Structure 1
Amino acid sequence: MTANDPDAAIRDETARLEPQLIALRRELHKRPELAFEEHETAAVVAAELARLGIPARTGVGRTGVVGLIEGGRPGPTLLIRADMDALPIQERTGLPFASERDGLMHACGHDIHTVTLLGVAAVLKALAPALAGRIKLVFQPAEEVLEGAPAMIADGVMDDPGVDMCLGFHNWPWGKVGQIQYVRGACQAASDAFDIVFHGRSGHAAHPQAAIDPIAGAALFIGQLQTLVSREINPLSPAVVTVGQISGGTVRNIIPDQLTLKGTVRTMDAAARDAVESGMRRLLAGVEAGLRLRSELAYARKVPPLVNDDRVLDRVLAAARAVVGEAAVTQGGASMGSEDFACFTELVPGAHLRIGSGAPGRSDVLHNSDYQPDEGCIAVGVRTLSRAALELLQ
């Protein structure tokens, strides 16, 4: 493999690697691991990088792996990230390589991401003399809980050598294999989490005047909560506030001492993010005063919005068009889903691509027990990301 014709070299090497990558993906699919438990997956990644002659560090962010490819000339450092963790879902695909672990499944395609980046590693290692700079290959744990990127950053993944730009990707079942989608600017939402405990006083259901009812307080608060979005946030600024869990009480005729609710806040800009948190605190104070309750709020800002940098994105899109053609690269809409790749783009300019993985005749969605992405997306991802790295490190 030579760099005289990089497009042909990338295409031919990817075609050679594709059967091996699909086989490896199926092995990883059989053995899914949850956030910060990706020990076997990390071991596979480390072994593959060693086989390719790529030096790597393990245990970065607990179970992350970082490989480094040095280019032939001085230049910037490009970080390319793939996530590795699975989900607590019982697989129902019936595939011969279905999960062998009860209650665990790669239902978001992170097994595909892992082998795609291993394919990129193999291609770019061979093309290293043509690179002006270096590639930092980041195999990240715990994306599903939005904690893996912060953990790796805390462990110094952005340092030694310092990272100048970053590139991320996700398989995209709403697009066919060979299609690539992008979003300009903010493409995925910030994600915050809140836990609230309402403290009242227990009592008999027949004598509510002798109790202080935390259920009534929680119900009032939940109803008011949505006014933060409908009446306090600019309608042109997306925001979603969701209460996803309520727990409290033991039997029907006892007013409980306390009730707990948990939820998430998704926003696209800092003003909306601040307004929701401050508004929530104000509403809680009102419920406390009005219903004689006491509340405890734990509010955690998990990840910022994922923002694509036009300077990086434009060069990545030029590479994508060279691989799949002009018509197959299309602009899509932002999502209120969240991605901890945003923690990298908050620090350095970056771009995040959606790589079509929809299988013919299927209508798959992510995080579904019957999720079956088309494995043809692996080769498209390898070619596109490898070509993008060359474009960024010319």
Structure 2
Amino acid sequence: MRLSTLALCVATLSGTFAPAVFANTPDAAKLTANVEQKVIEWRRDLHQHPELSNREFRTSKVIAQHLESLGLEVQTGVAHTGVVAILKGAKPGPLIGIRADMDALPVTEVVDLPFASKATDTYRGQTVGVMHACGHDTHVAMLMGVAENLVNAKDSLAGDVMFIFQPAEEGAPAGEEGGAELMLKEGLFAKRKPEQVFGMHVTSSLPTGVIGLRSGPAMASEDSFTITVKGRQTHGSRPWGGVDPIVASAQIINSVQTIISRQVDVTKAPAVVSFGAINGGIRSNIIPDEVELIGTIRTFDQDMRADIKVKLAEIAELSAKTLGATATTEIDAGYPVTVNNPELVAKMRPVIRSVVGEDNLIEPGLITGAEDFSYYALETPGLFYFLGVTPAGKDPATVASNHSPAFYVDESALKVGVQTMTQLALTALSAK
């Protein structure tokens, strides 16, 4: 997950989980109880051996070996290191997809665990620590458990399941393609498109076992931009002898703020344009030739997203021009808005509630972080939810967040994730 603060509403955990009761479907709770310890062991192994985006070689091998042991049709090397497996149910019916992301982050772990990561790798030319600081190790382990559950229940399935183990959710290395977009580009859904696709993400912003599910737009789109402002170098004591790109940059930064405050309908959906870096100049008495501005755009509406991009480039160009400078804008298109299909959410919300109970299913606020699960949900109805992993006695509002070197997962939450996803699949493929 490309992260910003997860502004999630927090509910009180009751401490027990209501059993799921659906006619003509296997008991997801019993299935999950049989794999719970395996899931924890897989998670610890993966946590101790994290791998960066598009480099998940060991991870994919662990996944493939398990799926093959279950007798599934397994394809490896998808979008570099992705793994895809198909489970055929006993009866004809739709195909559904379930996705887990695999990659870790260039973060040095500080959590004192017997299975803490000591791994290092090279990132942008530097040696860095590597850590599952966003919980993708748990996602992989839980989906491995769900796969085993559904194989054990396949005689009751009216339809098939596509298990998608996806690399590079955190973004492919510079100069490479990756993630959900590349999996789809390589034909993931070409032969047969799932009728529904499901995904889950752990978060420290919720107590252990609490589920956050929102209908409609749930997570923002993400686009990064670079504005190059060119002037003409001159001595700082003679500013009239050149064109000052620093002043022009200041004008651009101030004017861009009016896009959100004055030019888009924020009653339709919120949006954010933020500058994260300003690079230019080296001495107090030299006005440089060039300044670079770097920032991000976050929106919850695809049309608004496109409009903001146009306005950003226009404002940069015209603001610079009034001061005799030039400005060119390059936008690196990131992830689309993650939209949960309202009809699918309405159908499946009671299913999740049956597992966690009324008090432990909440509707979170909009999240300005981004997720490339959004690409799947553009192709077919999608449902993406959050699983709380902050243990009792800890305040989710103050604990280390996802992407922190101190990010911590309460492993007792994993059974909730496995059971909810298993029940969703059993319900989607029930004979009824």
TM above 0.5, one fold? Answer: yes
CA distance in 1, matches of 2:278, 2:49: 33
Q: Which amino acid letter does the alignment assign opposite residue 48 of structure 2? A: K
Is the 1:315–1:388 Cα contact (8 Å) retained in structure 2?
Answer: no
Relative distance call for 1:100 and 1:5 in structure 2 (3 A) is farther
1:202 maps to which residue? 233
Offset of residue 6 of structure 1? 4.0
CA distance in 2, matches of 1:286, 1:4: 64
CA distance in 2, matches of 1:220, 1:37: 42
CA distance in 2, matches of 1:33, 1:200: 43
Q: Is 1:71 matched up with 2:89? A: yes
CA distance in 2, matches of 1:265, 1:224: 15
Q: Is 1:274 matched up with 2:323? A: no
Q: Is 1:292 matched up with 2:292? A: no
1:24 maps to which residue? 42
CA distance in 1, matches of 2:360, 2:140: 24
SS of the equivalent of 2:46 reads helix
Q: Which amino acid letter does the alignment assign opposite residue 276 of structure 1? A: I
CA distance in 1, matches of 2:302, 2:138: 33
Is the 1:355–1:377 Cα contact (8 Å) retained in structure 2?
Answer: yes
Offset of residue 272 of structure 1? 2.0
CA distance in 2, matches of 1:79, 1:169: 12
Is the 2:54–2:168 Cα contact (8 Å) retained in structure 1?
Answer: yes
Q: Which amino acid letter does the alignment assign opposite residue 387 of structure 1? A: Q
Is the 1:358–1:364 Cα contact (8 Å) retained in structure 2?
Answer: no
Offset of residue 66 of structure 1? 0.7
Task: Report sequence identity in percent.
Answer: 36
Offset of residue 270 of structure 1? 2.8
2:347 maps to which residue? 315
CA distance in 1, matches of 2:107, 2:285: 35
CA distance in 2, matches of 1:99, 1:199: 44
Q: Is 1:127 matched up with 2:158? A: no
2:170 maps to which residue? 144
CA distance in 2, matches of 1:194, 1:354: 29
1:98 maps to which residue? 116
Which residues in structure 2 correspond to 1:149-228 (within 5 Å)?
149-228=180-259
2:135 maps to which residue? 109
Pairing partner for 1:334 from 327, 351, 366: 366
SS of the equivalent of 1:226 reads helix
Offset of residue 7 of structure 1? 4.7
Is the 1:232–1:275 Cα contact (8 Å) retained in structure 2?
Answer: no
Pairing partner for 1:89 from 84, 107, 127: 107
SS of the equivalent of 1:152 reads helix
CA distance in 1, matches of 2:304, 2:190: 32
Pairing partner for 1:380 from 405, 416, 419: 416
CA distance in 2, matches of 1:128, 1:92: 42
Offset of residue 239 of structure 1? 0.4
Is the 2:352–2:361 Cα contact (8 Å) retained in structure 1?
Answer: yes
Q: Which amino acid letter does the alignment assign opposite residue 263 of structure 1? A: G
Q: Which amino acid letter does the alignment assign opposite residue 53 of structure 2? A: A
Deviations 1:265-318 (A, max 9, x none): 011113321331121122122123112222221113322211111222223222
CA distance in 1, matches of 2:307, 2:25: 49
CA distance in 1, matches of 2:254, 2:225: 16
Q: Is 1:58 matched up with 2:89? A: no
Is the 1:77–1:164 Cα contact (8 Å) retained in structure 2?
Answer: yes
TM-score (ref. length: structure 1): 0.95
CA distance in 2, matches of 1:253, 1:59: 54
* Larger mean Cα displacement after TM superposition, 74-83 or 281-290: 281-290
Offset of residue 235 of structure 1? 2.6
2:429 maps to which residue? 393
Offset of residue 201 of structure 1? 1.9
CA distance in 1, matches of 2:26, 2:193: 28
Offset of residue 376 of structure 1? 1.4
Is the 2:208–2:392 Cα contact (8 Å) retained in structure 1?
Answer: no
Tell me how many residue pairs correspond in the alignment.
391
TM-score (ref. length: structure 2): 0.87
Is the 2:248–2:319 Cα contact (8 Å) retained in structure 1?
Answer: yes
SS of the equivalent of 2:379 reads coil
CA distance in 1, matches of 2:248, 2:74: 53
CA distance in 1, matches of 2:194, 2:23: 27
Is the 1:80–1:137 Cα contact (8 Å) retained in structure 2?
Answer: yes
CA distance in 1, matches of 2:288, 2:55: 37
Is the 1:25–1:111 Cα contact (8 Å) retained in structure 2?
Answer: yes
CA distance in 2, matches of 1:288, 1:279: 14
Provide the alpha-carbon RMSD of the alignment: 1.8
Q: Which amino acid letter does the alignment assign opposite residue 365 of structure 2? A: G
Offset of residue 225 of structure 1? 1.0
SS of the equivalent of 1:225 reads helix
Is the 2:256–2:315 Cα contact (8 Å) retained in structure 1?
Answer: yes
Q: Is 1:44 matched up with 2:62? A: yes
1:233 maps to which residue? 264
Deviations 1:117-161 (A, max 9, x none): 000000011111211111100011111128511011111111222
CA distance in 2, matches of 1:333, 1:352: 14
Deviations 1:205-234 (A, max 9, x none): 222222222222112111111110001111
Q: Is 1:367 matched up with 2:403? A: yes
Is the 1:199–1:258 Cα contact (8 Å) retained in structure 2?
Answer: yes
Is the 1:193–1:300 Cα contact (8 Å) retained in structure 2?
Answer: yes
Gaps of 5+ in 1: none
